[in-house]
Amino acid sequence: MHIHFLDPYQGGHSPIHRTDARVKLVLSVGFILTTALIPIGVWPIYVLLFAMVISFVILSGVGVGYVLKRAALAFPFVLAALPLIFTTPGLQLFSLTLGTWEIPVTLPGVERFFSIALKSWISVQAAILLTATTQFPDILTAMRAVRVPRLLVAIIGLMWRYLFVLADEALRLIRARAARSGEAEIPGHRKGGRIAWRAQTAGGMAGNLFLRSIERSDRIYVAMLSRGYDGEVRSMPLPKLEASNWIELILGGGILILLVVLSLLIWE
C-alpha cells in the first residue's frame, strides 16, 4: 500500500533527478560532513553552503518552500544545544534571574548555539533534497554500491517499509473508530465523551496498534522467509559509473574540500 504523505520522493525530470543515485548519495553525505566540519562562527561559509543547497533545490524543481518547510522539523532537536548559551565561558552579554539564581548569557555561547542551529538546518535541507529526488530503493542500492554494511542497509530498508505497515494499521484503526462514533445532535459538540474518555480511547488504540503491528510484521517476515529472504534485498546490478559521473564526484568533492580549507583560513 502506497501512502503518499510518508514518501518524500517528488517525481521529476530535472538534472538532479537524472543524476546517478550513487553520485547523489556520496555528495550529499560529503556535503553534510563538510557542514559539520566548518568551524563555529564562520558565517560567510554558512551563507555559501546555504546558497549551494538552495541552488540545487531550484534546479531540481522540488520547490524551495517544500524543502524549507520540512527542514524546520530540525529546530526542535536543536534545542538540545540551548544550554551552550549559558555554559560557554566568555564575554557576558546579559544575565537572566531565576529566583536566587543568576544565569549569564555569553557571546561565545550564543554564537555556538546559532552556528549549530544553522548547520543542522542546512544539513537537513541536503538530506531532504536527496530523498525528494531519489527513490528510496535506489538509495538503498546506492548504499550497497558504496560498501555500506549489508546489515545496516537491511535495517534501514525494513524500517522504511514497516513505517508504511504501521501507518496502514493506524489508518484502519482510525476508520474503525470513526465508523463506530455517533454524530452529536447538539451543534458545536464533538463526537465522543469527555477528555478523560478520549484519553482512555486513544491509549487503547495505541496499545491495539502496537499489538496489531507486531502480529502483521511477524506475518510479513514469515512470508519473506518463505520466499528465500536471507537478510539482503537483491536487485539488478548497477551499471558502471560513466565519465560524467566521475567528473561530478571529483568536482563536487573538490568544492567541498575547498570550502573546508577556506573556512579554516577565515577562522584563524
pLDDT tens, the chain, 268 aa long = 444 556 778 878 899 999 999 999 999 999 999 999 999 989 999 999 999 999 999 999 888 988 988 888 888 888 888 888 888 888 887 777 777 777 788 888 888 999 999 999 999 999 999 999 998 888 988 998 888 888 888 888 888 888 887 888 788 877 877 777 655 555 655 555 567 767 777 788 888 888 887 888 888 888 888 888 777 777 777 788 889 899 999 999 999 999 999 998 887 6
Residue type, 208: N
Same domain? For 250 and 137 the reply is yes
Question: What's the structural domain count of the chain?
Answer: 2
Is 16 among the domain residues?
yes
- Nearest one of 263, 198, 241 to 25, comparing CA atoms: 241
Measured in whole angstroms, the distance separating CA 70 from the mean position of its chain's CA atoms is: 9
Give the per-residue pLDDT at 96: 73
The stretches of 134-194 forming alpha helices (DSSP H) are 136-145, 150-179
Same domain? For 171 and 103 the reply is no
Same domain? For 36 and 109 the reply is yes
> Model's pTM, two decimal places?
0.81
Query: Do the beta carbons of residue 26 and residue 143 sit within 8 Å?
Result: no
Give the per-residue pLDDT at 151: 83
**Helix, strand and coil in the chain, % to nearest 5:** 70, 5, 25
Give the per-residue pLDDT at 1: 40
**What is the number of other CB atoms lying within 10 angstroms of the CB of residue 216?**
15
Q: Which domain holds residue 223?
A: 163-179+203-230
Is 184 among the domain residues?
no
Same domain? For 42 and 99 the reply is yes
Is 99 among the domain residues?
yes
Query: Do the beta carbons of residue 163 and residue 6 sit within 8 Å?
Result: yes
Query: Do the beta carbons of residue 115 and residue 94 sit within 8 Å?
Result: no
Give the per-residue pLDDT at 24: 94
Give the per-residue pLDDT at 3: 46
Same domain? For 137 and 257 the reply is yes
Query: Do the beta carbons of residue 38 and residue 263 sit within 8 Å?
Result: yes
- Nearest one of 155, 148, 166 to 217, comparing CA atoms: 166
Query: Do the beta carbons of residue 191 and residue 183 sit within 8 Å?
Result: yes
